[in-house]
Amino acid sequence: MINTSRSRIVVIVTVLLALVAAIIAIGLGSVFIPVSDILSTIFGSSSKAVNATIIWDIRLPRVLLAMIIGANIAISGALLQAVMGNPLADPGLTGVTSGAAACVLVIMLAAPQYTEFIPIAAFVGGLIAAGIVYALAWRRTGISPITIILSGVAVNALCGGLIGLLTIMYSDRLPAAVQWLNGSLAAKGNNALMMVFPYAIAGWILSFFAIRKANIIRLGDQVASNLGENVNRIRILLSLLAVFLAAISVAAIGMIGFVGLVVPHMARLLVGSDYKYLLPMSMALGALVLLIADTGGRTLFAPLDIPAGILMAVIGGPYFLYLMRKKAF
């Protein structure tokens, strides 16, 4: 039994942990900056101009970007899981991420003059993928884990093929897209942060309004409808929101898998399945996990900068297998 005051404390502790991790991550890198210098640069007038440049222009944007995107993908996964009534629903496995990526890549490689439409392309691509998954996996009785995985496999294969085709057709322009394809935050500065930030804030506010609906829909379609809810409308709105959050993340830094699967699952173990706690917990934990993945990727193998997406796949894949083994689904 999970008690609610404990859940509240766990959420607060996770948020604090994420903040501490952020400060440590800002310090780590080819130039080490002690915590005291970081705090004095951020909160006061620092004497060292070099530190200020490193912090404001390089490390802080990257740290914030990792956290925002981690939170986005985790919320997206948590919402999809509510909507599909299924713990395997994650933007990566269902193909939303690769659908968004394929559409982004079309613009990046085939029509680079329209870069400003990348977020919209990502959203459209994600919606198409989600639509296909619904069309393939939806039965009158709901969605079973098997059909989600199978339709996800189909959508992922389709988008993977499309992505492969694009990379061959435009191989001369590929280098710019390689980092993005692997889900890397390297060389992402204030521009990417400024692009994501307003969308993320909007998405978070909307997801907090979605908490009650997500809770009601988890009682099942018939019960929700008996409680006077329009189940289909809830499902569509929550899916739109989940796709939106995943898509803006893809638009900014590319494909990052498993965060949307692993993080809500860990959050559920820690605070239970009530979205009043699960959603903020997923958000905080997602921020923490992706921050660790990104910081680990750029420091552990320095001077190599391993994309966070690759690190997440290396950690997330085995975790997924472990969940299967434990019959968590």
Q: Which is nearer to another protein, 263 or 291 (CB)?
A: 263
Span interacting with another protein, options 13-21, 36-44, 70-78, 210-218, rule CB under 8 A: 210-218
Instruction: Find the shortest distance in angstroms from Cβ 274 to another protein.
Output: 7
Instruction: Find the shortest distance in angstroms from Cβ 199 to another protein.
Output: 23
Q: Which is nearer to another protein, 224 or 293 (CB)?
A: 224
Instruction: Find the shortest distance in angstroms from Cβ 3 to another protein.
Output: 9
Give the one residue of 227, 300, 321, 328 binding another protein; rule: CB under 8 A: 227
* 216 counts as binding another protein under rule CB under 8 A: yes
* 83 counts as binding another protein under rule CB under 8 A: no
| CA 194 to chain CA mean position, Å | 17
Instruction: Find the shortest distance in angstroms from Cβ 276 to another protein.
Output: 10
Span interacting with another protein, options 24-32, 35-43, 92-100, 224-232, rule CB under 8 A: 224-232
Instruction: Give the contact letters, 1-20, x = binds to another protein (CB under 8 A), - = no.
Output: xx------------------
Give yes or no for a contact between 121 and 104, defined as CB atoms under 8 angstroms apart.
yes
* 220 counts as binding another protein under rule CB under 8 A: yes
Instruction: Find the shortest distance in angstroms from Cβ 275 to another protein.
Output: 10
Give yes or no for a contact between 159 and 96, defined as CB atoms under 8 angstroms apart.
no
Q: Using CA atoms, how far apart are residues 145 and 142, in angstroms rounded to an integer?
A: 10
Give yes or no for a contact between 155 and 93, defined as CB atoms under 8 angstroms apart.
no
* 49 counts as binding another protein under rule CB under 8 A: no
Span interacting with another protein, options 23-31, 215-223, 288-296, 300-308, rule CB under 8 A: 215-223
* 240 counts as binding another protein under rule CB under 8 A: no
Q: Which is nearer to another protein, 58 or 237 (CB)?
A: 237
Q: Which is nearer to another protein, 270 or 306 (CB)?
A: 270
* 144 counts as binding another protein under rule CB under 8 A: no
Span interacting with another protein, options 32-40, 126-134, 268-276, 286-294, rule CB under 8 A: 268-276
Give the one residue of 30, 36, 113, 222 binding another protein; rule: CB under 8 A: 222
Name every residue whose Cβ is closer than 8 Å to that of residue 300 and which is 6 or more positions away in sequence.
Answer: 306
Query: Which chain residues interact with another protein by CB under 8 A?
Result: 1-2, 209, 212-213, 215-216, 218-220, 222-223, 225-230, 272-274
